[in-house]
Chains A and B, each alone.
Chain A
Amino acid sequence: MEPGLTLRLPQFPQSVVHVGLYTSVTNASTIRKELLAGNTRYSYAFVDPRSMLSVAHVLAAVYRALTDMEAGGLRTRTLSSEVVFALGGTMNIADTLRRFGIADDSDSVLVVKVDTDQAERSNSVWADLGEIIQGTSIPVTDENIARLTDIETVRKNYKLQQGISLVDRSEATKVVAGAIALRGYL
């Protein structure tokens, strides 16, 4: 049984998307350090699940990153960093990476890998992540993500007024997915 989710976005059938979810993570600061150092082994999108609402939320960011890449308009250095950047609703890259990316005090992490070239290491992803991350892999489901969500963090990250209810996950996902789609245009 694969520890994570593997799927394809309908509009991008050539690209394979892997999503993993890990709890009880003890080496978040190490991961972050390697990421910032540009260690190519860490070419994944590492996201703090506290700011995630659902799997659809993640996919909205992957979609935005892929469409931007197709249009030749990546604003960060790699597709992985672009996925994290896509999560934010603003054009401030550093701020978004800080808000949504893995933090030193993260005790859980959501990982995304997009293989646009299928010849790449699709199979070794889970083994690789198992080595990089010191934590427990749990199934990537809306329920598991919901347990890790911090509603206030989501509200703050997307600057949502109190009037907008985040209790209903579907509605909340629509709100953030819309913000992700309209980043830079609103």
Chain B
Amino acid sequence: MSPDLPKLPSAISDALDLTLISQGAEALIYFSPEHPFIPSPLPAGIITSTISNASAGYILKYRPPKPYRHSALDAQLTKHRTLSEARILYKLFLAGIRVPSFIAVDPRQGLIWMENIDGPSLKKWIWMREAEIEGRHGEGDNDEAMTGQETIRPLLLSVGSEIAKLHFLDIVHGDLTTSNILLRESSRLGAESGADSQNRIVPEPVIIDFGLAQQSTLPEDKAVDLYVLERAFISTHPIHSEPYVKWVLEGYVAGFGRGKKIAVFKVKEIMRKLDAVRLRGRKRSMVG
């Protein structure tokens, strides 16, 4: 544990049982079994679900002051980024996109309260499925690809579709990786995500971490968002990244704007831009 670990405001850490679960470049993520303003145990007559799924707990995201920055700038940056993330979380929730529920924000101190998503990241989930498949068939078996298609494909289709909903609202995530997509056991028995061919309920993808998200109408920005995800797949799931990315994009195109005429045009444009971005990418020589 780094001796320089920034501390939460004491008023909060004294009052609540918070556990640090992740430390990013910009923020610290704490888990709290308790809601900030709904007491537990609940007084009689209050319905748990009126605010959130209590059993999964809550997340407090804290952007501590950065001493290496000029203090006035730092305060402004923290406030701005915190607010931006909070606003986007709320806006996406209103639009019906699957993101953690926004609960409260303190921009001045850089705090955001949100619902915790209990479930593995997409990265971990794919590794688990791949291990399962390998266990059943052994490496290099042709059937392996088929089974992957039956269990992983439906999930990746829905991932693509969820990202499409985001982009259709002209919001780009800014840091789309397989670690920033969590999978939650669907509460509605597979009705929305469907069941895979083995009739296991397909979990629902929840996109998290909108700290770098921005509003953008440009197809270029959306293409870059997708490209970042593509690179993430290539880096963390090198063997099958090609079909995986294909399925995500398949779900994306199918889910964009739900087939409205202008949407078909827009998504084509984004795909065109994606091709261009791929050509540009890192370590690609544009010489000769």
Supposing A11-B16, A181-B104 touch, asked if A56 and B39 sit within 8 A by C-beta, the answer is: no
Q: Are B40 and A10 touching (Cβ within 8 A)?
A: yes
The secondary structure that dominates the B interface is loop
Q: Please, which residues of chain B bring their CB within 8 A of the CB of A174?
A: 51-52, 93, 101-102
**1/0 contact string of A10-44 vs chain B (CB within 8 Å):** 11110000000000000000000000000000000
Interface residues of B in 190-239 (CB under 8 A from A): none
Q: List 13 A-B contacts (CB under 8 A).
A: A5-B43, A9-B36, A10-B37, A56-B46, A60-B37, A141-B44, A142-B47, A144-B45, A169-B50, A174-B102, A178-B94, A178-B103, A185-B87
> In the complex, A175→B47 CA distance in Å?
16
Q: Which of A5, A57, A143, A185 contacts B105 (CB 8 A)?
A: A185
Q: Which of B36, B49, B50 contacts A10 (CB 8 A)?
A: B36
- Which residue in chain B gives the minimum CB-CB distance to A180? B104
Q: Please, which residues of chain B bring their CB within 8 A of the CB of A144?
A: 45
Supposing A177-B103, A181-B102, A185-B87 touch, asked if A164 and B94 sit within 8 A by C-beta, the answer is: yes
Interface residues of A in 113-142 (CB under 8 A from B): 139-142
**1/0 contact string of B32-75 vs chain A (CB within 8 Å):** 00111111100111110111100000000000000000000000
Q: Please, which residues of chain A bring their CB within 8 A of the CB of B37?
A: 9-11, 59-60, 62-63
Q: Please, which residues of chain B bring their CB within 8 A of the CB of A9?
A: 36-37, 39
Q: Are A142 and B38 touching (Cβ within 8 A)?
A: no
**1/0 contact string of B11-40 vs chain A (CB within 8 Å):** 110011000000000000000001111111
> In the complex, A59→B42 CA distance in Å?
12
> In the complex, A182→B16 CA distance in Å?
22
Q: Please, which residues of chain A bring their CB within 8 A of the CB of B11?
A: 70
Question: Which are the 6 A-B pairs with shortest beta-carbon distances?
Answer: A141-B45, A63-B37, A56-B50, A9-B37, A170-B49, A11-B36
What's the minimum C-beta distance from B82 to chain A, rounded to whole angstroms? Answer: 10
Q: Are A71 and B87 touching (Cβ within 8 A)?
A: no
Inter-chain pairs besides A141-B46, A142-B50, 4 sampled, C-beta below 8 Å: A11-B37, A64-B104, A174-B102, A181-B105
Q: Are B43 and A63 touching (Cβ within 8 A)?
A: no
> In the complex, A72→B34 CA distance in Å?
25
Q: Please, which residues of chain A bring their CB within 8 A of the CB of B39?
A: 7-10
Query: Is B133 at the interface (CB under 8 A from chain A)?
Result: no
Chain A: residues with Cβ within 8 Å of the partner, total of 39
- Which residue in chain A gives the minimum CB-CB distance to B39? A7
Q: Are B12 and A11 touching (Cβ within 8 A)?
A: yes
Interface residues of A in 45-75 (CB under 8 A from B): 53-57, 59-60, 62-64, 67, 70-71
Supposing A71-B108, A182-B86, A185-B87 touch, asked if A7 and B40 sit within 8 A by C-beta, the answer is: no
What's the minimum C-beta distance from A117 to chain B, rounded to whole angstroms? Answer: 16
Q: Which residues of B line the A interface, CB within 8 A?
A: 11-12, 15-16, 34-40, 43-47, 49-52, 83, 86-87, 90, 93-94, 101-109
Query: Is A106 at the interface (CB under 8 A from chain B)?
Result: no
Q: Please, which residues of chain B bring their CB within 8 A of the CB of A11?
A: 12, 15-16, 36-37
Q: Please, which residues of chain B bring their CB within 8 A of the CB of A142?
A: 45-47, 50
Supposing A7-B39, A55-B46, A174-B52 touch, asked if A12 and B15 sit within 8 A by C-beta, the answer is: yes
- Which residue in chain B gives the minimum CB-CB distance to A161? B94
Q: Please, which residues of chain A bring their CB within 8 A of the CB of B12?
A: 11
- Which residue in chain A gives the minimum CB-CB distance to B83? A185
> In the complex, A96→B166 CA distance in Å?
33
Q: Please, which residues of chain B bring their CB within 8 A of the CB of A7?
A: 39, 43
Q: Please, which residues of chain B bring their CB within 8 A of the CB of A164?
A: 94
Query: Is A186 at the interface (CB under 8 A from chain B)?
Result: yes
Q: Are B86 and A170 touching (Cβ within 8 A)?
A: no
